[in-house]
Amino acid sequence: MTKPLRLGIAGLGTVGVGVVRIVQRKADLLAARSGRPVTISAVCARNRGTDRGVRLGDYDWQDDPVALAQRDDVDVFVELMGGADGPAKAATEAAIAAGKDVVTANKAMLALHGQALASAAETAGAALRFEAAVAGGIPVVKALTEGLAGNEISRVMGVMNGTCNYILTRMQGAGLPYDEVFKEAAALGYLEADPTLDVGGIDAGHKLALLASIAFGTQVDFANVELEGIQRVEIADIEQAADMGYRIKLLGVAQMTGRGLEQRMSPCLVPADSPLGQLEGGTNMIVLEGDSVGQIVLRGAGAGEGPTASAVMSDVIDLARGTRLSTFGQPASSLARPTPAKSAVPAPYYIRMELQDKPGALAKVATVLGDAGVSIDRMRQYQHDQANAPVLIVTHKTTRKALDTAIAGMGETGVVAGQPVAIRIEEV
């Protein structure tokens, strides 16, 4: 048998324990597929005493992840601590400096420091891989970097945060407002310690920025991801969008346009009968569009012990087999610095407003839209017994700027109560 591939695992939370379990339980399978055994030399976590339900006695315990990363008996440093900076980054840098390959699930670290780390890895002749950082068990980094490598990618999009999709589909299914479902999700342990990472779209935005880098050959540019969370999504919009044949999703979209790289992570309407519209609960879905391949859709669990550990092992087995790729699919030095698009490509929009029950009210709104150059595709005024009538409008394609002009104009008509809600309809 050839030399084993020896891992040093830093971080023994859910994912770390999952990786240990696979290495222990599937040793024969891993050896058969990798052509060599995969072993663990040492592990490291914050608290040595914790019972993690997995046998760790065979491995050296290392308190310091940096020391773990530098050990002579570690070929691959598996970074599962998380956190954009601090010990995760220090240990990753130490591993790279020591010429070790690194496998990480750390989307925040790569979204913020991916270019520097990838450059350092290349200089040191080390590999830095991150399948587990995006969409859990879905092998999307591999699909994009390798499977679709012959394509010019036109758009990458997807539902990349299971918690947000759970909240939105639960709101719809139970007819409950956001605040209540948020509390449920918290009680179920579905939320990050800082829930804004989830519901604010930050976690999903990190993932989108990583995919955009691979797709467009550009340096990771999380700072220019337009972020909007799901905190302001109202049950009324979920229900009325459904009535118009749509679902509301926290949708990530990255596309290269004539005006630069557009990266958005925001609530969008998608057709209810599209694969994205049909996605329920905590599942993730990524849609990749290439000039030759057309549209490829990938669906699976975006989080959890098994799925995320599966993705970590995919990178580990690649390294065991001798597969060595650039972190973002091409040398870091060749990645272009992206020009962020200043505005999103035109799209249809959904607008919901409360219209005062006065003669000519609808005409005034329609005039304001027309004056702003926004044309109406569909309109519905609902039966009501209040002073104000709920009105829904689906526009034809328009720019966000024209839409904002129209919405500002609506406020001046004196017939619209409160602030209209406008949500982009993404054509999928």
Binding residues (CB under 8 A) for a copy of itself: these are 18, 22, 26, 29-30, 32-35, 131, 137-139, 142-143, 146-152, 217, 273, 275, 278, 290-301, 306-307, 309-314, 316-318, 321-326, 329-331, 334
Question: Taking the complex as a whole, how short is the minimal distance between the CB of residue 246 and a copy of itself, in angstroms?
Answer: 17
Beta strands in 161-310 (DSSP E): 226-227, 246-257, 260-271, 283-290, 294-301
| Torsion angle (degrees, nearest 10) of CA 68, 104, 230, 216 | 140
Sign of the Cα pseudo-torsion (417, 383, 247, 182, in order): positive
What are the backbone dihedrals phi and psi of residue 157, each rounded to the nearest 5 degrees, phi first? -145, 170
Q: Which of 207, 342, 358, 397 is catalytic?
A: 207
Q: C-beta of 174: minimal distance to a copy of itself in Å?
A: 19
In three-state form (DSSP H/G/I as H, E/B as E, the rest C), the secondary structure along 328-349 is CCCCHHHCECCCECCCCCCECE
DSSP state, 35? S
Minimum CB separation from a copy of itself for residue 148, in Å? 7
**HSE, side-chain direction, 13 A CA sphere, residue 373:** 9
* Closer CB to a copy of itself, 293 or 363, in the complex: 293
The distance of closest approach from Cβ of residue 33 to a copy of itself in the complex, given in angstroms and rounded to an integer, is 5
Closest to a copy of itself by CB, 250 vs 298, is 298
Q: How far apart are CA 193 and CA 213, in angstroms?
A: 27
* Catalytic site includes residue 3: no
Of 260 and 304, CB closest to a copy of itself: 304
CB count within 10 Å of CB 244 equals 17
| Closest distance of CB 294 from a copy of itself, Å | 5
Distance, in Å, from the CA atom of 428 to the CA atom of 426, rounded to the nearest integer, reads: 6
What's the min distance (Å) between Cβ of 425 and a copy of itself? 20
Q: How many CB atoms lie within 10 A of CB 92?
A: 28
Q: Which is nearer to a copy of itself, 175 or 331 (CB)?
A: 331
Amino acid identity of residue 149, one-letter, is A
* Residue 70 three-state SS: helix
Q: For a copy of itself, give the closer residue by CB, 167 or 276.
A: 276
End-to-end CA distance of the chain: 49
Burial class of 234 by CB neighbour count within 10 A (0 to 12, 13 to 18, 19+): middle
Nearer to a copy of itself, 161 or 266 (CB): 161
Task: Return the active site residues.
Answer: 207
